[in-house]
Structure 1
Amino acid sequence: MPHDKGHAAADQLTQSEERYRALVTATSDVVYRMSPDWKVMSQLDGGSFLLDTGEPIDNWVEKYIHPEDQQKVYEAIEIAIRTKTIFALEHRVLRADGTLGWTFSRAVPLFNEQGEIIEWFGAANDVSARKQTEQDLQDAKDAAEHQKRTYETITSSTPDLIYVFALDYTFSYANEALLAMWGKTWDTAIGKRLIENGYEQWHADMHEREIDQIVATKQSIRGEVAFPHAVLGRRVYDYILNPVLNAQGEVEAVAGTTRDISDIRAAENTLAESEARFRMMAEATNIYIATSDESSNATYFNQSWTKLTGRPQKDLLAYGWVDLLHPDDQERHVKVYEKAFKAHKPLHDAFRVLNSEGEYRWLLIDGFPRNYMDGSFAGFISAGIDITELKEDEQRKNDFISMVSHELKTPLTSALSYVQVSKKRATEANDTVTAGMLERTEKQLGKMTRIINGFLNVSRLESGKIQIDAQRFDMAELMEEVKEEALISNTGHQIKFGYTKSIWVNADREKIAQVIQNFISNAVKYSRPNSTIQVRCKLVDGKAQVCTSDEGIGINHEDLPKLFERFYRVKDSEMRNISGFGIGLYLCNEIIKRHDGDIWAESTVGEGSTFYFTLPTVE
């Protein structure tokens, strides 16, 4: 009978175990059986989650467990075997479709009568969806935390005041700048209304009305207001209030940003005062003052311009005054202005303007570029004076010089002819003393002739009678002709001409030769005997450039800009004994300007000077 009872108990245990296995199988995605030491997986029913084993395997870790979780699985197994307790672990697995999944695995040890583990029976569930949800939630949390940190960094570092009103007019947020302005902390300011945070009653009432308006209209409001700062005193602020809408489109809060514009307003007031002072001075003077913007549009003419032209300021601004320029000056002055404007450089020019009485008046204009505070070009400001009387005096003087020059030229030419004939006869008679004296006389008469011709050229130039006979020619050929003449007429210096390639220009050949000869003549005049003079012509930036360099006494830097003015001579002790009237370089300047070229000089005192001019080239 006892034997029968033993069999019955065994059968009951077997049935109980089978019912447990059936329950586990029904409630789990995976069921598996492991050897006591977990080295062999004797069975795995993976369903659609994991691949079935089919037969016992010993590489189950590599087959099913993600490489990064294998060590974690080994450690959990070691603890379960050592303590003879349930194995439980959440880890990643390689799913049947080859993708990565998550499982929660539990295995219970089965013991024999001696209490030794004879097998592990385990079950696992697919928790991939839950883990993905948890990861998505964590990612969302991290993103929210990042956004919060970014927002707090921005709002705490900006000088702008940033805040949020609840609909009961209390502050639900205020950044560090606003708290500092109030002289409060978060705990003492948040949850308080405007009046409690130091706002005056009118100010608090104004913002509360604006909050009500935003709630009703869902529209932003912008304004400007002045109120006291805890440290800086009374300040001016620009603010904007925006509705914060919930998912139903209703206003649930009002967010605001306020910026301190006190310094901007102060600068604007200073600028306005400066502008007012400028206009007051401009309107009270007889000087003709005008301004333009960076696009060359006229922005201001003072009353002197209105009185001169008879045009109201609005007409001058709309239509300008270029049409009032004398026909002979119009094209030239426009070129001078446009060139200075494009280069953002000062301009200096004289021209005639038709006044309100129908007469032309001479104006001398100086224009200067204006810049914004950041250094960018802002336009031009010009100031002019009436030089009509001065021009008339100059004309009378020129007429007198022209008359005297003409009167002197005829007898001078006759005297030169007599001297040349007498020198020839003295030479034939072997009267060397007389011949020498006559030769020196001939040179002096030649110098006087050149001076008189210079005065006549100035007179013709200023009366508009000098003509430019432009023709196409090669600068290389002209340089060769100038070279032959220079080497014959100047034997006291070493004049060296550089090689000139073929460069074609459209210019007055005779007058360009005159400019080069003047450069060489000045180099000879102002440099030591037997010193070297270099003459070169080359192509530079698409233009023909001619330059003459000497080893002379040099010119002070402050004198260089004035060299090409009429009758200007350098006031220097070394130059007092050098003859000249200051008209040669003036004529050179006028000739080159009429060819749309540039002329300038560079010099170092004690080392010498270099004079340049350029001409546009042609094909």
Structure 2
Amino acid sequence: MKNNDQDASVEQRINDLITQAPVAISFLKGYELIIESANPHILELWDKQNDIIGKPLAAALSGAQGRAYVQLLREVYKNGHIQYGSETKVWLYRNGYRNLFYFDFVYKPVKDASSMVTGVMIVATEVTKQVVARQLLEDAEERLRLAIEATGIATWDLDMLNDIIITSPRLTEIFGLDPDEKVTHQQLRDMVHPDDKQTLLKAFEIAEKTSIYLYDARVVWADGSIRWIRTSGKLIFDDRHKPLRMLGTTHDITERKQDELMKNDFIAMASHELKTPLTSLKAYTQLLVVKAKKMGDAFFIGALEKSENQINKMTRLIHGFLDMSKIESGKLQLNATVFDVNLLTAEVVADSLPGAMEHDILFNAGAPVLITADKEKIAEVIGNLISNAVKYSAKGSTVTITTKTEGQQLRLSVKDQGIGLKQKDQQKIFQRFFRVDNERTRGLSGFGIGLYLSAEIIRMHHGKIAVESEEGKGAEFYFLLPLAVLPA
């Protein structure tokens, strides 16, 4: 009697657990699938009440859909194999409204101690929230994909561990291949112009430090034609800072590059044509200065010297445009020699004094520092940095030039007491034509090429150029160059 009571108690606890379970559960007994238990959740799915318990499932569920459902469960009973239903659509009335819901089903045969099938257990878990969330994400991804494709931009996903790349069809088009063609990462790299392969390596070295991958390069199509591409991406690391994955975009910038080359050709031609008349104008002005000094006419001497300063300024600007066109067309050649950078800096400071009469220019020269570089181009960089410091600092303030060695490198810095730079502007200050735009700079002349040219010249010397600044507290521009290696 006691055992019977215990069995009844256990059975009641099991029924209570099934009833209170957060998922839909039912147990069907025998081939006729008699409904022995069914909790409220499964009854909601079937749209039935408790009165179906004890009845065959076929009698409880009518219609073609009900018959197909019964047939499925009888197959499970007969073959003894578990069946799964994934994200099954079910229309239900909830809160007075009929809506579509999604469920994962498990149909599991129940066996006795002799492994004979005695019934089928149904477990259904609602997955509506997960399905709807995934559908929204897929819809957003599809909209993004269509928007990206409309701009002509290609997307890619690179597995850094296995060197496997997944690309959008647009990427193969940009490389002159069929949109449906499957390509490897190595195939794409092999199509990069030989002269630009080093650009990719440097871009990756920067990405390893900053996670930002960015470069412009040429690709050679199968027919021999050359196209320009711009690639940008983000490098993702593991906990040990080992590269795992890179996501990015690539787009064709050939037309933009061609426009730039045409513009550079025009600038070069115009600058070249201006050089001859300016040279003549400077020569005549110098002759007039000599005559004015003999005559002792202070007014004419001052006016002619100011005119000569403006001619020198125009000459430097023209040389800057010529250098820019040469740099961007890859035609700028360096004439490297060994020289003392302190002597060169002293010469540049002396040349800068006439244009900085209202500033104090201090040069802190240490011991002689020898470097191997293009003397004329390095002088241009130093002059640009001094001119920039004078332009953006108040009259009467001090500009300090310092040279020193750091390990096997020269460090030359130009520090001013001027308006300084915002952090966001420091990231762009060496870009071509970039100028800080605020109320304190709008009245100042310039094209925004001096610092760009300086950065490119230092880059060509395998050096580094940078700025340290705080808005309103001045700026310190500096560059690093390798010291000269002299024979033992």
TM-score normalised over the length of structure 1: 0.55
1:567 matched residue in structure 2: 433
Residue number among 309, 315, 318 corresponding to 1:449 in the alignment: 315
Work out whether 1:325 is the aligned partner of 2:325.
no
2:330 maps to 464
Q: 1:161 to 1:544 in 2, by over 3 A?
A: farther
Structure 1's 167 and 498: CA in aligned 2 closer, same or farther, altered over 3 A?
farther
Please tell me whether the aligned partners of residues 212 and 235 of structure 2 are also in contact (alpha carbons under 8 angstroms).
no
Displacement of 1:309 after TM fit?
Answer: 0.7
1:223 aligns with 2:51: no
Amino acid at match of 1:306: E
Check conservation: 1:286, 1:304, Cα contact below 8 A: no
Whole-angstrom CA distance in 2 between matches of 1:601 and 1:194:
79
Distance in 1 separating the partners of 2:288 and 2:218: 52
Distance change >3 Å, CA 536–CA 293, structure 1 → 2 = farther
Say which SS state the counterpart of residue 181 (structure 2) adopts: helix
**Amino acid in structure 1 at the alignment position of 2:453:** L
Uncovered stretches (5+) of structure 2, i.e. residues with no partner: 1-5, 237-243
**Cα deviation 1:473-508 (Å, max 9, x = unaligned):** 9xxx968975895598356345678999xx999987
User: 3-state DSSP class of the match of 2:156?
Assistant: strand
Residues 472, 507 of structure 1: 8 Å contact kept: yes
- Tell me, in whole angstroms, the C-alpha distance in 2 between the residues paired with 1:561 and 1:385: 25
Match of 1:302 in 2: 169
Matched residue count:
452
SS class of match (2:265): helix
Given that residues 175 and 188 in structure 2 are in contact (C-alpha distance below 8 angstroms), is that contact kept between their aligned partners in structure 1?
no
Residues 498 and 441 of structure 1: is their aligned pair in 2 closer, same or farther, counting only changes over 3 Å? closer
Which residue number in structure 1 is paired with residue 251 of structure 2? 384
- Hey, what does 2:452 align to over in structure 1? 586
**Alpha carbons of structure 1 residues 392 and 156: separation in structure 2 relative to 1, 3 Å:** same
- Name the counterpart of 2:66: 201
Mapped contact 1:156–1:177 kept (Cα < 8 A): no
1:99 corresponds in structure 2 to none
Percent identity over paired residues: 31
Contact 1:599 1:612 in 2 (8 A): yes
The amino acid of 2:168's aligned partner reads F
SS of the residue 1:314 aligns to: coil
SS at match of 1:222: strand
2:154 aligns with one of 276, 283, 289: 289
Unaligned 5+ runs, structure 1: 1-140, 372-376
Which residue identity lines up with residue 329 of structure 1 in the other structure?
D
In the alignment, is the contact (CA less than 8 A) between 1:282 and 1:302 conserved in 2? no
Mark the CA change 1:427 to 1:612 in structure 2 (over 3 Å): closer, same or farther.
Answer: closer
**1:35-74 alignment runs, 5 A limit:** none
**Structure 1 position 464, deviation (Å):** 0.4
Question: Which string of whole-angstrom CA distances, capped at 9 and with x for unpartnered residues, describes residues 333-354 of structure 1?
Answer: 454367458745474x543333
Query: Matches of 2:452 and 2:226 in 1, distance apart?
Result: 25
Identify which of 351, 367, 373 aligns with 2:217: 351
Aligned counterpart, 2:306: 440
Change (3 A) 1:304 1:182: closer
Give the AA of the match of 2:225: E
**Which structure ranks higher in relative contact order (CA pairs < 8 Å, sequence separation ≥ 6)?**
2
Structure 1 residue 612, shift from structure 2 partner: 5.8
- Contact kept in structure 2, 1:370 and 1:378, CA below 8 Å: yes
Match of 2:77 in 1: 212
Aligned-residue offset at 1:583: 1.1
1:299 aligns to what SS in structure 2? strand
Flag the 1:209–1:504 CA change in 2: closer, same or farther, 3 A. Answer: farther
Matches for 1:513-528 after TM superposition, within 5 Å: 514-515=380-381, 517-528=383-394
C-alpha displacement of 1:585: 2.2
Are 1:313 and 2:180 matched, yes or no?
A: yes
Show the counterpart of 1:260: 126
Q: Per the alignment, do residues 321 and 378 of structure 1 end up closer, same or farther by CA in structure 2, a change over 3 Å counting?
A: closer
In structure 2, relative to structure 1, the CA distance for the partners of 1:407 and 1:306 (3 Å cut) is closer
**Distance verdict in 2 for CA 1:481–1:240, change over 3 Å:** farther
CA shift, 1:193, in A, is 5.4
The separation in 1 between residues aligned to 2:48 and 2:153, in whole angstroms, is 58
Residue aligned with 1:382, SS? strand
CA distance in 2, matches of 1:486, 1:570: 25
Alpha-carbon separation, structure 2, partners of 1:274 and 1:358: 39
CA contact (8 A) 1:325 1:352 kept: yes
3-state SS, counterpart of residue 446 of structure 2 = coil
- The equivalences for 1:371-450 within 5 A come to 380-382=247-249, 384-388=251-255, 390-409=256-275, 412-413=278-279, 416=282, 432-433=298-299, 435-450=301-316
Deviation at 1:525, TM superposition (A): 0.1
Q: Which has the larger radius of gyration?
A: 1
Contact (CA 8 Å) 1:162, 1:178: kept in 2 or not? Answer: yes
**How many angstroms apart in 2 are the aligned matches of 1:589 and 1:334?**
19
